[in-house]
Structure 1
Amino acid sequence: MLSLKIFQWHLRKTHKDLSNSEMEDADRLKTVDKMVDLFGEEAVKNMVAILREMNKNNQAKQLEDNHKQGAL
């Protein structure tokens, strides 16, 4: 759960149009839904950038690879 809160912090830091209240009680699915609403097809690119910023490089690469293969 802590990783999700850190991810949301990075998301709000880089995207000021997201309010604290929108992310306060958001679980993973709600966070992803909000990102897709905001960024559309760029949501995965934004997720990868945030994961890299968090030094979650393996997860970022896995997400990127799965997305390229159309697994998502």
Structure 2
Amino acid sequence: MSAPERPVPSPCVNICALDDEDICTGCQRSVAEITRWSRMDNDERRGVLALCHERAKASGLVWMLPVRR
């Protein structure tokens, strides 16, 4: 029997300010995602983290290096 999975931690970085689209400029979560985080299961949390990463890339906060071929 394996131990239960640990909760996926919050991406909060204590820079809490909303942009014009109500997305936190620190963690890239929406207000709804922040509010629901404590009630989400780990699969939902991983989905939100993927959205946060996409938002960060789209806003230029995360730079992606081109893939060398």
**Same fold, TM-score > 0.5, yes or no:** no
Which protein has the larger Cα radius of gyration, Structure 1 or Structure 2?
Answer: 2
Q: TM-score, with normalisation over the residues of structure 1?
A: 0.36
1 or 2, which has the higher helix percentage? 1
Q: TM-score, with normalisation over the residues of structure 2?
A: 0.37
